[in-house]
Amino acid sequence: MQDVIDYLVGQQDDALQQLCEFLRIPSVSADSAFAADVARCAKWVRSAMEKAGLKAEIIPTKGHPIVYGERIESPELPTILVYGHYDVQPPDPLDLWTSPPFEPQIRDGRLFARGATDDKGQVFTHLKSIEAWMKLRGRLPVNIKFLIEGEEEVGSDNLEHFLKQNTDRLKADVAVISDTSQYGDGIPAITCGLRGIVAAEVRLTGPSKDLHSGIFGGSIANPANALAKICGQLVGDDGRIQIPGFYDDVEELTELEKQQFGQLPFDEAAFLSEVGSSAPFGESGRSTLERRWARPTCDINGMISGYTGQGPKTIIPSKATAKITCRLVPSQKPAKVLDALEKFLSSLCPPGLKFEFLRFHGCEAFVFDPTSEWITAASEAVKVAFGRPPVFIREGGSIPVVLSFKQILGLDTLLLGWGRNTDNLHSPNEHMHVADFHRGTLGSACLWQHLATVRRTS
Amino acid sequence: MQDVIDYLVGQQDDALQQLCEFLRIPSVSADSAFAADVARCAKWVRSAMEKAGLKAEIIPTKGHPIVYGERIESPELPTILVYGHYDVQPPDPLDLWTSPPFEPQIRDGRLFARGATDDKGQVFTHLKSIEAWMKLRGRLPVNIKFLIEGEEEVGSDNLEHFLKQNTDRLKADVAVISDTSQYGDGIPAITCGLRGIVAAEVRLTGPSKDLHSGIFGGSIANPANALAKICGQLVGDDGRIQIPGFYDDVEELTELEKQQFGQLPFDEAAFLSEVGSSAPFGESGRSTLERRWARPTCDINGMISGYTGQGPKTIIPSKATAKITCRLVPSQKPAKVLDALEKFLSSLCPPGLKFEFLRFHGCEAFVFDPTSEWITAASEAVKVAFGRPPVFIREGGSIPVVLSFKQILGLDTLLLGWGRNTDNLHSPNEHMHVADFHRGTLGSACLWQHLATVRRTS
């Protein structure tokens, strides 16, 4: 496929110009003042799909439209579902941008614009690679389905409904998303795991109103003391979560993964300095990367009770509330974890207090076996483009669409991040390295070639 | 002294009319719009003192003036310092008053007005009793000094300075304050103990800003979890405070006091229903009254960390703060308790967090030996007025002026409450039972007689 590569290399300047056109459209999904621009951007994506050789259409939703395009070569070939988004974060605060967010500018080998890396630049690599294949070969090595939504930055509210209504149309063998990052500069990565999450709130109510701590202190349960007592027992001094049964379903990393993580360059001092902490903390006997990516957590995200202004106030508060999230790892079940959390906290609650437990959302962890043929094929493609094989990493957060693909479409997702996490995503001066854009386009072109060889299991 | 009693009984209607005059002056110390009324009220008090036969003067302070009056009969007689305040709480919310707060009205045997019981009605009993003694005998059985301030409801900011500057002038054998309550309706009380207090704030700082709980969770210490952990260990499941050394200096109640408290009518179900708690909580093996009055506490008064709005937010907070007060009992030293609290909390703080400990104010507990001659004498006086002997109680809160009298003037204080804690102090429809006002006046008249017999120790 040297011809495809040569073609893409020859077309790099044009591709960059076209990406700039894409970036000039201020498709800010959060702000209704930009609604017409979001709609215009959807049309731009549709015509880019058509130009690449896909059959494309704009699908309205209750919010911003989805752009869908596909090219089916043969039922014998693997089908790849590419997901991305054409909407962008609001650009504020504008005064911190060196050049205007919607007037793309190249400086120091980097293309500055809102959406440059999140996610227009990364999405566009896949459109350009398809275009190259079609231009030179008139056909693709795989069947391709593109699903590019316009509401990722506002919670993808209408995506699940679309997935559920279109399970046949979206049928595929594997999904591809380029909306993550390389592990480090010039160290390409395939993200093989994401943690899941559960979120809850615990509310304790004691007296019906705040009471004078002198007149009443010592006679009734103080909900703030009680909240501290029960939430203070969630995590032990050794960093282990104390909820009975919490680790029952936790899947350990394979020896291979442990080894892979162990080999990754990781500067703990630089990490601590970046977050502003003076020491690491967490489960003993686990590396910082393992704790961030592959071990469950139990964090209090917020707490409030009683008086929180300046100086003292001599009250026994009426109420105390804590918000808690647990990050989950493969095989942990959200409902089971929430049950265990509620049981643990309520069992510790002293008498005389009303205990309430609110459940918010939950989703499972995602893991893609790094020894699978899909990963191996993707690795080969990345290696060609970046000149070195990717590392296999995980991320500690969740990507809801990956879970939706798994649950609704039964699909695993290849998370191939062409950008860098230093690209100022969601911040002023967002950019993408021009070299990363070109490498990503080559990687994408090679990806179709390599994925075509994978033995389909479905 | 039947002549004094008869005279006071004959004068009751007049006394009530004069009290109404006092109550009509809106001496709201908190609101500068009432400054002229506060000044007018000070003058009213001065002339009431003069009318009673005292040598009186208005003493300016940086805030509202102090009214001071005295009559020295003989260096051989005991000297009594009477403290009270002529300022009142703001009357808001006005629409909840049945009759206007500064237009006194008698309904159902109760005199309704702001300040009726707190503290004008109670102060006025002492002025009327002095007046009766002077009218009938031309002299008093004791030396009397009156210190009536105008800033009690705004923190008595200028009182300490005045006390320190006037230790000779204010020299006395005992102080009398009528600004507390009977134990229950028709059960007069002498308050023989007040708890002390220390107040502090603990601040934990982790990362330099709130972090994504997915990306960073498990790698560094979460200050909210840590705050819960360390503050959750302050009080054990048995209600005992876990700070090492905390109980070292705690004075137990005497057997007599225990017995006295044990005999007081106390309806625990009614108490719980009043505060809205479903069960009592506190140190096991101690009665609710003992825990409220004579045992130390450690209460979290407020806590805040991270996100406290609706729904979940997936962060590791940067900071977490708790406000803590301990109520102290006799012999506990505020500085020692704060040292122990700080040491305990800091020793529990996990690595990777910045620990800060802020100290606010502190004051010792106050206790007046219920077997002392002063108390016995005061009891006799109360018994004459109320037809039954007083019970000896304590209060769980602090009364700063009592501590100042002890520390600056070396005086113990007889806390003789003529009112009731159901008189709506600080609330709309504040009132004083007319019968309590009259009984208080008689009690006061008898008090001077009985205190005159006490053997002075100074």
Beta strands in B307-410, from DSSP E residues, in sequence order: 315-316, 319-328, 354-363, 366-367, 391-395
What's the pLDDT at B432?
98
How far apart, in whole angstroms, are the C-alpha atoms of residue B326 and residue B441? Answer: 37
Nearest to B219 among A215, A227, A292 (CB): A292
A275 and B320 in contact by Cβ < 8 A? no
B7 vs chain A: nearest CA distance in angstroms? 38
Nearest to A301 among B218, B233, B315 (CB): B315
How far apart, in whole angstroms, are the C-alpha atoms of residue A88 and residue A288? Answer: 32
Instruction: Specify the 3-state DSSP secondary structure of A445.
Output: helix
Domain spans, chain B: 2-194+366-451, 196-250+296-363
CB-based contact, B17 to chain A, within 8 Å = no
Q: Which of B87, B131, B210, B257 is catalytic?
A: B87
User: Average pLDDT for residues B300-305, to the nearest whole number?
Assistant: 97
Task: State the alpha helices, DSSP H only, in B192-306.
Answer: 213-216, 223-231, 255-263, 268-275, 288-293
What's the pLDDT at A458?
55
- Which residues of chain B have a CB within 8 Å of the CB of A271? 219
Q: Which of B152, B342, B423, B436 is catalytic?
A: B152
Is B196-250+296-363 a domain of CATH 3.30.70.360?
A: yes
A255 vs chain B: nearest CA distance in angstroms? 21
Distances in Å between the Cα of A173 and the Cα atoms of A54, A76, A81, A369, A401 are 19, 11, 8, 15, 16
Mutate to test the interface with A, among B277, B308, B332, B393 (most CBs of A within 10 A): B277
pLDDT, tens digit (0-9, with 9 covering 90-100), for B396-417: 998 889 999 999 999 999 999 9
Q: Which amino acid appears at position B377 of this protein?
A: A
B300 and A281 in contact by Cβ < 8 A? no
pLDDT, tens digit (0-9, with 9 covering 90-100), for A282-312: 999 999 999 999 999 999 999 999 999 999 8
Of B446, B429, B445, the closest CA to residue B97 belongs to B429
Mutate to test the interface with B, among A202, A227, A271, A281 (most CBs of B within 10 A): A281
For residue B458, pLDDT over 80 is answered with no
Mutate to test the interface with A, among B229, B234, B301 (most CBs of A within 10 A): B301
User: Average pLDDT for residues B173-198, to the nearest whole number?
Assistant: 95
- Which residues of chain A have a CB within 8 Å of the CB of B276? 206-209, 318
B289 vs chain A: nearest CA distance in angstroms? 8
* Cβ contact B433:B420 at 8 Å: yes
B194 vs chain A: nearest CA distance in angstroms? 9
Q: Which of A152, A257, A412, A436 is catalytic?
A: A152
Provide, for chain A, the percentages of residues in helix, strand and coil under a 3-state DSSP scheme, each rounded to the nearest 5: 35, 25, 40
- Unique residue bearing structure tokens 């008064």: B301
Nearest to B352 among A227, A281, A302 (CB): A281
B258 vs chain A: nearest CA distance in angstroms? 17
What's the pLDDT at A11?
97
What's the pLDDT at B213?
92
pTM of the model: 0.88
CB-based contact, B426 to chain A, within 8 Å = no
How far apart, in whole angstroms, are the C-alpha atoms of residue A372 and residue A104? Answer: 39
Q: Does the annotation mark B152 as catalytic?
A: yes
- Alpha-carbon B308 to chain mean position: 34
Which DSSP state fits A325? E
How far apart, in whole angstroms, are the C-alpha atoms of residue B101 and residue B113? Answer: 5
For residue B457, pLDDT over 90 is answered with no
Across chain B, mean pLDDT equals 96
* Cβ contact A95:A104 at 8 Å: no
Give the count of beta carbons closer than 10 Å to the beta carbon of residue B248: 12
Cis peptide before A119 (omega within 30 of 0): yes
A412 vs chain B: nearest CA distance in angstroms? 20
Q: Closest residue of B to A287, CA-based?
A: B219
CB-based contact, A277 to chain B, within 8 Å = yes
A231 and B234 in contact by Cβ < 8 A? no
* Cβ contact A207:A320 at 8 Å: no
User: Average pLDDT for residues B73-99, to the nearest whole number?
Assistant: 95
What's the pLDDT at A367?
95
Q: Does the annotation mark B436 as catalytic?
A: no
- Which residues of chain B have a CB within 8 Å of the CB of A417? none
What's the pLDDT at A264?
96
Nearest to B302 among A300, A305, A396 (CB): A305
A325 and B312 in contact by Cβ < 8 A? yes
Interface of A with B in 140-199 (CB under 8 A): 195, 197, 199
Cis peptide before A93 (omega within 30 of 0): yes
User: Average pLDDT for residues B236-243, to the nearest whole number?
Assistant: 96
A73 vs chain B: nearest CA distance in angstroms? 39
Confidence of residue B110 (pLDDT cuts 50, 70, 90): very high
B281 vs chain A: nearest CA distance in angstroms? 4
Q: Closest residue of B to A203, CA-based?
A: B308
Cis peptide before B210 (omega within 30 of 0): no
- Which residues of chain B have a CB within 8 Å of the CB of A217? 195, 292, 297, 299, 325, 327, 396
Tokens standing for residue B76? 């051989």
B232 and A232 in contact by Cβ < 8 A? yes
How far apart, in whole angstroms, are the C-alpha atoms of residue A119 and residue A128? Answer: 14
Which DSSP state fits B109? T
A219 and B311 in contact by Cβ < 8 A? no
- Which residues of chain A have a CB within 8 Å of the CB of B201? 312
A323 and B313 in contact by Cβ < 8 A? yes
CB-based contact, B313 to chain A, within 8 Å = yes
Q: Tell me the β-bridge partners of B358.
A: B201
Nearest to A222 among B279, B299, B353 (CB): B299
How far apart, in whole angstroms, are the C-alpha atoms of residue B43 and residue B150? Answer: 11
A301 and B213 in contact by Cβ < 8 A? yes
Homologous superfamily of domain range A2-194+366-451: Zn peptidases (3.40.630.10)
B228 and A232 in contact by Cβ < 8 A? yes
Q: Closest residue of A to B280, CA-based?
A: A220
CB-based contact, A52 to chain B, within 8 Å = no
- Which residues of chain B have a CB within 8 Å of the CB of A312? 199-201, 301, 323, 325, 360-361
What's the pLDDT at A421?
85
Mutate to test the interface with B, among A219, A237, A353 (most CBs of B within 10 A): A219
Q: Tell me the β-bridge partners of B191.
A: B393, B415
Report, as ranges of residue numbers, the positions in chain A whose pLDDT lies below 70.
457-458
* Cβ contact A172:A108 at 8 Å: no
What's the pLDDT at B361?
79
CB-based contact, B84 to chain A, within 8 Å = no
B224 vs chain A: nearest CA distance in angstroms? 6
How far apart, in whole angstroms, are the C-alpha atoms of residue B234 and residue B205? Answer: 20
How far apart, in whole angstroms, are the C-alpha atoms of residue B54 and residue A52? Answer: 104
| ipTM score assigned to the predicted complex | 0.89
Mutate to test the interface with B, among A266, A300, A316, A338 (most CBs of B within 10 A): A300
Mutate to test the interface with A, among B230, B237, B281 (most CBs of A within 10 A): B281
How far apart, in whole angstroms, are the C-alpha atoms of residue B360 and residue B366? Answer: 19
Nearest to A300 among B224, B300, B323 (CB): B224
